[in-house]
Structure 1
Amino acid sequence: MAGTTHHELPLPEFDEPVKLLIVIAPYYKDIADDQLAGATAMLEQAGAGYEVIEVPGALEIPVAIGIAHRQSNFDGYVALGCVIRGETTHYETVCEESNRGITMLGMGGACIGNCILTVENHDQAARRADPSGMNKGGGAAAAALHLIALTRRFGKPKGGIGFKPRGDSIQVAGKSEGPATA
């Protein structure tokens, strides 16, 4: 759209080190290389550490992030991939399910910057991936950093939601377990 401007937030600053995992599906290698260049430049600008892993396709990106989120110690994730419309409905399935997976992980607490491009043709993908152009890979890295900063700002989950026992002690199978604590 002509005349449209986009506001970009300044990168957050961190007191403690930040470590991200970049998960990339290099099906379209030239597009993936540009996305990765943009993402890594943004993370380096912010002073963040990162690792990169490759997966076969866009559908495997949320699976890999889910595994890492459960089993590793990354602060956040950057999802990089590209889906170009073809002649079948496979395009819709891959677009919807990869993005649904990313969204579900994010709602579960994973800090993810999503740059799974969903485009009509290679030229659209190339323009969006170009680090000196639209730089969507860099934008995804910045989004992950902002979510990490937000998570750190709010702190760890506080827990304790629910009912507290009444009285001075908790009864467990007819035995008193001492003073109740909140």
Structure 2
Amino acid sequence: MFGADKGTTAEDRLNGKKLSIGIVQARFNASVTDALAAACKAELVALGVSDKDIDHVTVPGALEVPVALQAMAEKGKYDALIALGCIIRGETYHFELVANESGSAVTRLALDYQLPIANAILTTEDMPQAIARQDEKGRDAARVAVEMANLLESI
């Protein structure tokens, strides 16, 4: 069991020194996704992941994120992946479609490839909500990716 039973500390769970991480960032709502990416990458480095072990690609929007994640997963070189995006509710059903389909595809890829994928595709009502979440969610995604990569390695 991951945790106290194996003597694994919180520090061990968040040790990214030997990990390779892939990031896929949607460019739509770029001011938010750029901030997500900056916070995420800074946290990965703070957790010990080397800059050379972080691959970061961009795609047009949230619906394209899973395609790039799948291509990265198929390479077999990553310990974890991170999905970054920002979907803001509009006046049409498009918000639900993009939010549901991108979220479902990210989850399916994680399960199909048995690869941790931290999903930080924000789904908010408006831009102020997205801005309020961009830094913390970027950092959270980095911590989730590192912790889950270490967990799966220990199982």
Q: TM-score range by the shorter chain?
A: 0.7 to 0.9
Shift of 1:71: 2.4
Q: How far is 1:72 from its partner?
A: 4.2
Shift in Å, 1:13: 2.1
In our comparison, the structure showing a higher alpha carbon Rg is 1
Matched letter for residue 88 of structure 2: I
Which residue in the other structure is 1:118 paired with? 123
| Gaps in structure 1 of 5+ consecutive residues | 1-8, 155-182
Could you report, residue by residue, the CA deviation over 1:20-63 in whole angstroms, capped at 9, with x for unpaired residues? 11100021111011101110111001111301100011011111
* Superposition deviation, residue 146 in structure 1: 1.0
Instruction: Give the structure with the higher percent helix.
Output: 2
Structure 1 SS opposite 2:77: coil
Q: CA deviation at 1:75?
A: 1.1
Counterparts of 1:91 and 1:24 in 2: how far apart (Å)?
A: 18
SS of residue matched to 2:62: coil
Aligned counterpart for 2:106 among listed residues 102, 119, 127: 102
Task: Show structure 1 runs of 4+ deviating over 2 A.
Answer: none
What residue ranges of structure 2 are gaps of 5+ in the alignment? 1-9
Q: Does the residue aligned with 2:18 lie in a helix, a strand or coil?
A: coil
Secondary structure at 1:41 match in 2:
helix
In 1, distance between residues paired with 2:139 and 2:127?
Answer: 19
SS of 2:48 mapped into structure 1 = coil
Deviation at 1:67, TM superposition (A): 1.2
Aligned-pair CA distance for 1:111: 1.0
Counterpart-to-counterpart distance in 1, 2:56 and 2:80: 12
Aligned length: 141
Residue aligning to 1:12: 14
Distance 2:38 2:15 in 1: 21
Under a length normalisation based on structure 2, what TM-score does the superposition of the two structures give?
0.86
Residue equivalent to 2:24 = 23
- Percent same amino acid at aligned positions? 35
Alignment-mate amino acid for residue 21 of structure 1: G
Alignment match, 2:83: 79
Structure 1 length-normalised TM:
0.74
1:69 is aligned to 73
Which residue in the other structure is 1:88 paired with? 92
What are the equivalent positions in structure 2 for 1:120-135 lying under 5 Å apart?
A: 120-129=125-134, 131=135, 135=136
